[in-house]
Structure 1
Amino acid sequence: MNLRLSTVILPVDRWHEGGRAKWRRAEELGFHAAYTYDHLSWRSFRDGPWFGALPTLTAAATATDRLRLGTLVTSPNFRHPVTLAKELISLDDISGGRVTLGIGAGGNGFDAEVLGREAWTPRERADRFGEFVPLLDRLLTEDAVSDRGTHYSAEEARNIPGCVQRPRLPFAVAATGPRGLKLAARYGQAWVTTGDPKLYEAGTPEQSDAALRGQLDKLAKACADAGRDGAELERILLTGFTPDRSRPLESVEAFVDFAGRHRELGFTEIVVHWPIADSDFAADQAVFEDIATEALTRLG
């Protein structure tokens, strides 16, 4: 099984003071894709610079030629399917068809409350996500859409000429629960996980592997229930949130070991964070670049 290596570049740099250079360097290093978080701010970066995901990706599209671009992940927390679809069609056009939409139900925190409302419960998030994804699918594949939902509606929403990628740009659906996995099986071209959050602080790599294996089994069942071959979906692991979160970037050898284990589990793409000094994503830049250029060759 071939394994792809991608990166996440958090939108913390002014474009002309390092931002543009990172995206260009990601392409030079040969990453399959470079993603960014779609938040209004995020955790420890809340009191520092943080730029918008879609404008950043648009700029990255003009600064690169081959690199795939995307969000990990967009959520309904502050997005509406109608306006998001228009922006994605525009981004897909500007990039020449290089966009993947990572999309999930969202969670609690700043994004969930910044618009002045109480954060949705897990059930409310799942309900909204269950409407959001099907409507977005229609908006990206049909010229005109009218739909009345409980949470999201569209009235003669026009999206001509549609995506460069046909029938639409790919969805990478982040999900671990039954309702989200059902959406991934129905609408996804890829599935995304960060592992089991309950193991983040005190779990072991072995426990994490077992949890991921369980998630992959549930994904396979959801695909079978939908009458779909689960092998059609790319399976993406966003690293940095498993018990051995820092070890993969300590050396090329450590990464090869980590990647090999997860390829055996069934993952087809591994995403590593671009190093950011004095943060949870601190790492040696030289080692990071060696991993980008050497690790997959060593993995065989």
Structure 2
Amino acid sequence: MRQGVLLLPEHRWAEARKRWLLAEELGYDHAWTYDHLMWRWLSEGPWFSAVPTLAAAAEATSRIGLGTLVASPNFRHPLDFAKELVSLDDVSGGRIVCGVGAGAEGFDSRLRGDPPVSRRERGARFEEFVGLLDRLLLEERTTFRGDWYTVEDAVVRPECLARPRVPLAVAAAGPRGMALTARYAEVWVTSGAPNLFDNEPYEQVVPLLKQQLAEVDRACEAVGRDPATLRRLLLSGGSVGGVLDSVESYRDASGVFADLGFTDLVVHWPRPDFPFAGREDVLTGFAAAELGGGAG
């Protein structure tokens, strides 16, 4: 089981840098950040941009994987984003993973005055976004005219250090998104029940996770892909709660999820208050016991 941690982009870099470095020192396999213009309950506080944050983290660290969890079409265009991903890939030495999702209603979809998008339109836009992003990162030149995006003779160079391109981690909970995952992604991402923050104990979420795992297997089989070639990443802390209650619960939850078939588990870096309130000593204690890491 690969272990990861998600750091909210809420701290000035002098402070944030310490956390990204500590995540690597603790032995985590990958570290992530959210990609939003503003975010839910923290809209009145500091909130930094994901791409420069990851560029700084890539320069500061040397081993740990880095990524967005997740970027969305709510304010990103595939061409601009592809150029940024190639740049991040270069700075990091091939350690970037591009996590993408369809995007929910919220600040990101309203701040720029964009017209409302229905759920069906959101799914169609996401399909076009992922397919075009894949092409831009693989092809020498790309021309595309779709319902949502147009590019003319676009060149995204240099080639990615990660081969054949920056890996895609697609967040998907429904059949349309899972079909997209099976076609394009190296990693499938779930947070349990999508866009919910009920924080049920992780043991109670197991039936839903089993169902989702079976569905993504079927999506792979439907396109002739071996399901074993797809990594499965669970982001806890939203609808999947209780993981960071103690070192023991963290260890137990990790075992439960591994037994289900997950290859990666990501927890939020504990904060002093809501959301994701918790104790950093649980994170560091688990790392010391299970990852061989330490803070000193």
- TM-score, normalised to structure 2, is 0.95
Superimposed CA distance per residue, residues 1-32 of structure 1 (whole angstroms, 9 cap, x where no aligned partner): xx01100011000102x111111111100100
Contact 1:89 1:162 survives alignment (8 Å): yes
Aligned pairs for 1:145-294 (under 5 A) are: 145-197=142-194, 200-201=197-198, 205-243=202-240, 245=241, 247-294=242-289
Taking the aligned partners of 1:276 and 1:119, their CA distance within structure 2 comes to 33
Tell me which stretches of 4 or more aligned residues in structure 1 moved more than 4 Å. Answer: 197-200, 202-207
Match of 2:9 among 11, 14, 22: 11
Q: Are 1:116 and 2:106 counterparts?
A: no
Contact 2:168 2:186 survives alignment (8 Å): yes
SS at match of 1:236: strand
SS at match of 2:121: helix
SS at match of 2:281: helix
Superimposed CA distance per residue, residues 100-158 of structure 1 (whole angstroms, 9 cap, x where no aligned partner): 00011010111111111243111111010110111000100112111111101110111
Query: Which amino acid letter does the alignment assign opposite residue 11 of structure 1?
Result: P
- TM-score, normalised to structure 1, is 0.94
Taking the aligned partners of 1:147 and 1:15, their CA distance within structure 2 comes to 38
SS at match of 1:241: coil
Contact 1:105 1:126 survives alignment (8 Å): yes
Aligned to 1:65: 62
Contact 1:256 1:296 survives alignment (8 Å): no
Contact 2:199 2:238 survives alignment (8 Å): no
The size of the alignment, in residue pairs, is 292
Taking the aligned partners of 1:293 and 1:142, their CA distance within structure 2 comes to 43
SS at match of 1:30: coil
Shift of 1:203: 5.3
Uncovered stretches (5+) of structure 1, i.e. residues with no partner? none
Query: Which amino acid letter does the alignment assign opposite residue 174 of structure 1?
Result: A
Superimposed CA distance per residue, residues 136-192 of structure 1 (whole angstroms, 9 cap, x where no aligned partner): 001001121111111011101111222111110100100011111011000000000
SS at match of 1:31: coil
Uncovered stretches (5+) of structure 2, i.e. residues with no partner? none
SS at match of 1:173: strand
Shift of 1:282: 1.6
Shift of 1:199: 7.3
CA 1:123 to 1:82, structure 2 compared with 1: closer, same or farther past 3 Å?
A: same
Query: Which amino acid letter does the alignment assign opposite residue 89 of structure 2?
Result: D
Shift of 1:205: 4.2
Match of 1:88 among 85, 88, 92: 85
Aligned to 1:42: 39
Superimposed CA distance per residue, residues 63-82 of structure 1 (whole angstroms, 9 cap, x where no aligned partner): 00001000000100000001
Aligned to 2:24: 27
CA 1:203 to 1:254, structure 2 compared with 1: closer, same or farther past 3 Å?
A: closer
CA 1:114 to 1:58, structure 2 compared with 1: closer, same or farther past 3 Å?
A: same
Superimposed CA distance per residue, residues 213-269 of structure 1 (whole angstroms, 9 cap, x where no aligned partner): 1011110000000100111111000001235x1x22121111111111111111110
Aligned to 1:143: 140
Bigger mean CA offset, 51-60 vs 117-126:
117-126
Taking the aligned partners of 1:146 and 1:22, their CA distance within structure 2 comes to 41
Percent of aligned positions with the same letter in both sequences?
A: 50
Taking the aligned partners of 1:170 and 1:39, their CA distance within structure 2 comes to 20
Shift of 1:38: 0.5
Alpha-carbon RMSD across the aligned residues, in angstroms, is 1.5
CA 1:242 to 1:202, structure 2 compared with 1: closer, same or farther past 3 Å?
A: closer
Taking the aligned partners of 2:199 and 2:39, their CA distance within structure 1 comes to 23
CA 1:282 to 1:204, structure 2 compared with 1: closer, same or farther past 3 Å?
A: closer
Taking the aligned partners of 2:58 and 2:224, their CA distance within structure 1 comes to 36
